[in-house]
Amino acid sequence: MPQADFAYAPANDLAGLPLAASIFADRANVREELREDVEAAGLAMHDCAPLAALVEGEPRALGQIVLLDCPLAGAAELAALTRLDMRAARSGAHLVVATTVAALDCVFASCDQHVAQILVDPTRAERVVALGRAIVRTSGSRLRELSHDDRLTLLRLTEQVDEIAERLARFAGSGFGPIGPGEAFHFESPHREFAGASARGGPLLLPPRPPLPDPRLVRRIIRQRQLRARFFDATLFADPAWDILLDLAAARAEHKRVSVTSLCIASGVPPTTALRWIGQLTAAGLLERVKDESDRRRAFIALTDATADAMARYFAELGADAARVV
């Protein structure tokens, strides 16, 4: 990958905002690529070591951005990741974890203290974009402390990362989108007006809550949506947020639990992209993470009660026309 195609304004040129990165990876070639990308981004190199360094000897200080390569889900790897997740949560470091589909459920369950960027079988270009997002988010947390010139520098850096993401989306159809406040969903409970009436002293009159639709109906709608990919380019109709909500609505009606790997498949987009959507939907209060009490290496995703209520009311409003929804 030509470095010139993915050049950043040096992140440590932001006055008062020196950024450093820590790299932990067992594969020497991955460590070297990550080191090159970190240096190209203008970050200081804080640490670069195998995963065992996280659990052996005295705890190492972390950079503001931590890049971890965890393709396996063995006991040693998960112990290192769990410890790193807890330390990142305490220190405020931004964590980027690269893993595989086979290890995804275990990796996702281990990252329960810190909102990490999780990449699945990433290309080098995807790792570069994730690094750019980490730089922007880490720098943005101290945006108020910056001078006018420093704010412009950060804005230019953000724009450069946006351009990279858009370029990758055009060439690879990877589903990356713009970075910034526009990423977030806005979700309000359908009962908001009733809660407001109660707060003003009025009567609390909640309409009866309809049940979720027959899961067989929802599964049929999902199959109809998937059928389009047999005749058209699947990216033309990519709607991962809705596909995720449909799959979880059917699972809730079936009283089934859904793993993050299964939900990524249901989304119809690459796993890394699906994880971004799951993270945004969770941050917006539409989804919630549910621990597996019998196995700490697993975690499930479910609709929040408010989202289940909204889905139920949506299908109730459609009525008989729901069967024709695609």
For residue 214, what is the DSSP state?
Answer: P
Return d(Cα 278, Cα 288) in angstroms, integer.
9
Closest CA to 43 of 165, 150, 139: 139
Closest CA to 290 of 280, 303, 279: 303
Total number of domains constituting the chain: 2
Q: Which domain holds residue 286?
A: 215-324
Cβ(14)–Cβ(154) below 8 Å: yes
Q: Which residue is listed with tokens 């994880």?
A: 275
For helices 271-283 and 240-253, the axis angle rounded to 10 degrees is 70
Residues 6+ apart with CB under 8 A from 98: 30, 67, 68, 69, 70, 71, 119, 120, 122, 127
Q: Pick 266 or 294 by higher pLDDT.
A: 266
The whole-number pLDDT of residue 158 equals 52
Q: Angle at Cα 101 formed by Cα 97 and Cα 102, nearest 5°?
A: 105
Residues 6+ apart with CB under 8 A from 294: none
The whole-number pLDDT of residue 235 equals 79
Same domain, 163 and 55: yes
CATH of residue 228's domain is: 1.10.10.10
**Mean pLDDT across the chain, nearest whole number?**
79
Q: Pick 196 or 42 by higher pLDDT.
A: 42
Same domain, 168 and 287: no
Q: Pick 306 or 153 by higher pLDDT.
A: 306
pLDDT in tens, 144-169: 455 555 555 555 555 555 555 555 55
Average pLDDT score over residue span 18-26: 90
pLDDT at 303 over 60: yes
Same domain, 76 and 139: yes
pLDDT band at 308 (very low <50, low <70, confident <90, very high): very high
CATH of residue 149's domain is: 3.40.50.2300
The alpha carbon torsion through 69, 121, 245, 134 (nearest 10 deg) reads 50
The whole-number pLDDT of residue 209 equals 74
The whole-number pLDDT of residue 173 equals 47
The whole-number pLDDT of residue 182 equals 42
pLDDT at 101 over 50: yes
Same domain, 44 and 147: yes
pLDDT in tens, 173-182: 444 444 444 4
pLDDT at 9 over 50: no
Same domain, 73 and 221: no
Average pLDDT score over residue span 43-55: 90
Average pLDDT score over residue span 58-75: 90
Same domain, 19 and 156: yes
Considering the entire predicted model, what is its pTM? 0.74
Return d(Cα 95, Cα 217) in angstroms, integer.
40
Same domain, 155 and 249: no
Same domain, 28 and 162: yes
pLDDT band at 320 (very low <50, low <70, confident <90, very high): confident
Do the domain assignments include residue 178? no
Ordered strands of the 258-259 beta sheet: 258-259, 299-303, 287-291
Same domain, 223 and 282: yes
pLDDT band at 97 (very low <50, low <70, confident <90, very high): very high
Do the domain assignments include residue 203? no
The whole-number pLDDT of residue 7 equals 39
How far is C-alpha 176 from the chain's CA centre?
Answer: 11
Q: How far is CA 133 from CA 49, 56, 110, 164, in A?
A: 22, 30, 22, 11
Q: Which residue is listed with tokens 């995703």?
A: 301
Closest CA to 65 of 120, 9, 16, 132: 132
Cβ(252)–Cβ(308) below 8 Å: yes
Q: Pick 162 or 220 by higher pLDDT.
A: 220
Same domain, 261 and 125: no
